[in-house]
Amino acid sequence: MSKRFIMSIDQGTTGTRVALFDERGRMHSTAYREIRQIFAHPGWVEHDANEYWDTTIICAAEAMQLGDTNANEIAAIGITCQRETTVLWDKDTGEPVYNAIVWQSRQTAAICEELIADGLDEYVREKTGLLIDAYFSATKIKWIIDNVDGVKEKVKQGKILFGNIDSFLMFKLSGGAAHVEDYSNASRTMLLDIHTLQWDDKILDALDIPKSMLPKLMPSSGVMCETDKDVFFGQAIPIAGDAGDQHAATFGQTCFKPGMAKNTYGTALAMMMNVGYDLKMSKTGLTSDIAWMVGERPEYALEGLVFMGGATIQWLRDGLKIIKTADEVNDFASRVSDTGGVYLVPAFTGLCAPYWDMYARGTIVGMTRGTTGEHIARSALEAIAYQTCDVLECMTQDSGQQLTSLRVDGGATASDFLMQFQADILGIPIEKPVITEMTSLGAAYLAGLGIGFWKNKEEIAKQWQVARVFEPNMNVDQKESLYSGWKRAVKRSFAWAQE
């Protein structure tokens, strides 16, 4: 039977999606399951890592069933995942030694402060392209080693492995045969020297992390391992693509040329610009990443990630309870002509790019007796657009590239209100493609490219299709006035403003 599909496993912050794609890049079938969020203490965010594995198998079976296909029709598997989220597991049993510490979690802020006090901030920035922050994997590894009973001793005995979610899933899928990770995910651990493409000994020593527990580094496209027949539907299928979620989305958007950029509107917001084979170090608070490695050389990217994107809408639903479903926010926001001067700064887990304030807190400013739930709903949607504008300003300065349009993807692109306001506040067209599940598609493209399912990036680029373009129509004075108000509101959320 011919191999007709590429399977994409997209393990995200709020759930796991498995999809099948055909040779034209069309989604044939998909299945999704939510992941339980664990908030043991204020600022902490964790997952039961076993849910990653369980939901992957459930969704894979369901996607094949819905697509009326089976495992022997799968040519290859691509994996993409929430980045920075950290799992340590027993080498022999495959069992996690503790919950996965999620990228959003702030529980390692004190370790970051110690590293900064020791004068490592400039070194880390220069070597890894990142800033010292609880967001990244490195301090999460140390926290688990230092705080979970028995782990430190097992680490000394060489019995514990570290991986991000891609690495953990490949270990499980291969029946424990593979402990690997691609360079894009590795570049978000705060442990990789993105110049030499090696794990950095100085940072490892500073955190007392043995290199032996780290995965083998591999390109983002090409066979990394195979599934074990006993654990994956009786088939040995090559896993031939792997990338962090934002890298995969950028690949799915076919941003293959320097200066091309996309923004993903998921739980978080992530704008990424391809800067080509020559690394550019940010001077404005963005991060410098390995976009992907296809072939022998890595391509680099500038990135600005914002913690609270779609998660802000979830907060309106689950926290404030002013809406019952996420879809209702658009109706709420449209009932008022503006926010009435209200700005919501959703710094619920601190501020990420370009501010990097671990202790910033969510703030609503400008409320009066006339403020309603509709005003707050609208301000939440507008906050997503303003945060994107913050990042684009920095990206333009770092890259020297002036964007003429922005490609978008992710669940929140379903909001026409948000997309139009985004075009207005940026002053450039917003291009929404036919397929908005770009993270899944990007992982599939990397896997298919790795086995020759697609010949090259040029063939893939021809498959990208735009569904709608949102043109800016706000006058410059109004845009600048609104954005200035946002900037003032952000300052009110900084840690020093809470004192």
- Residue range 299-318, pLDDT digits in tens: 999 999 888 888 888 888 88
- Per-residue pLDDT, 350: 85
107 belongs to a structural domain: yes
The CATH number that applies at residue 47 is 3.30.420.40
- Per-residue pLDDT, 314: 86
Q: Residue 344 pairs with which residues in a beta bridge?
A: 364
- Per-residue pLDDT, 142: 97
Say if CB 292 and CB 251 are below 8 A apart.
yes
Tokens representing residue 455 in the block? 């010949």
- C-alpha–C-alpha distance, residues 171 and 50, integer Å: 12
- The yes-or-no verdict on residue 326 having pLDDT over 80 is no
Count of structural domains within the chain: 1
Tokens representing residue 403 in the block? 């964007």
253 belongs to a structural domain: no
- The yes-or-no verdict on residue 1 having pLDDT over 60 is no
- Per-residue pLDDT, 499: 58
- Per-residue pLDDT, 352: 80
CA angle 183, 185, 187 (to 5 degrees): 65
Cα 482 from chain centroid (whole Å): 28
Tokens representing residue 227 in the block? 């599934």
- Per-residue pLDDT, 117: 95
**Average pLDDT, integer, range 323-339:** 85
Indicate the pLDDT class of residue 294, thresholds 50, 70 and 90: very high
Q: Residue 364 pairs with which residues in a beta bridge?
A: 344
- C-alpha–C-alpha distance, residues 173 and 179, integer Å: 11
Cα 180 from chain centroid (whole Å): 19
- The yes-or-no verdict on residue 127 having pLDDT over 90 is yes
How many other C-beta atoms lie within 10 A of the C-beta of residue 227? 26
202 belongs to a structural domain: yes
483 belongs to a structural domain: no
- The yes-or-no verdict on residue 374 having pLDDT over 80 is yes
* Per-residue b or e along 36-68, where b marks 16 or more CB atoms closer than 10 Å to that residue's CB: eeeeeeebbbbbebbbbbebbbebbebbbeebe
Question: Which residue from 176, 251, 162 is spatially nearest to 215, judged by alpha carbons?
Answer: 162
Whole-number average pLDDT of the chain? 92
Q: Which residue range is the domain that position 202 belongs to?
A: 5-246
206 belongs to a structural domain: yes
Indicate the pLDDT class of residue 320, thresholds 50, 70 and 90: confident
Question: Which residue from 439, 8, 443 is spatially nearest to 182, judged by alpha carbons?
Answer: 443
| Side chain identity, residue 14 | T
Structural element, H or E, at residue 290 = strand 287-293
Give residue-wise pLDDT tens across range 138-148: 999 999 999 99
List Cβ neighbours of 492 (8 Å cut-off, separation of 6 or more): 345, 363, 365
In the chain, how many H helices and how many E strands?
16, 23
**Average pLDDT, integer, range 288-296:** 93
196 belongs to a structural domain: yes
- C-alpha–C-alpha distance, residues 38 and 45, integer Å: 6
205 belongs to a structural domain: yes
Give the SS3 label for residue 198.
strand
Give the SS3 label for residue 77.
strand
List Cβ neighbours of 114 (8 Å cut-off, separation of 6 or more): none
Give residue-wise pLDDT tens across range 409-452: 888 888 899 999 999 999 999 999 988 788 999 999 999 999 99
414 belongs to a structural domain: no
- Per-residue pLDDT, 7: 97
- Per-residue pLDDT, 141: 97
Crossing angle between the packed helical segments 137-147 and 109-117, to the nearest 10 degrees = 110
Question: Which residue from 13, 66, 59 is spatially nearest to 33, judged by alpha carbons?
Answer: 59
Task: Give the lowest-confidence range in 184-193, 262-271, 321-330.
Answer: 321-330
Say if CB 397 and CB 359 are below 8 A apart.
no
Give residue-wise pLDDT tens across range 75-107: 999 999 999 999 999 999 999 999 999 998 989
Residue that wins the pLDDT comparison between 355 and 214: 214
Supply the pTM of this predicted model. Answer: 0.87
- Per-residue pLDDT, 311: 84
Indicate the pLDDT class of residue 285, thresholds 50, 70 and 90: confident
- C-alpha–C-alpha distance, residues 185 and 305, integer Å: 15
- The yes-or-no verdict on residue 2 having pLDDT over 70 is no
- The yes-or-no verdict on residue 346 having pLDDT over 80 is yes
Determine phi and psi for 222, rounding to 5 degrees: 130, 160
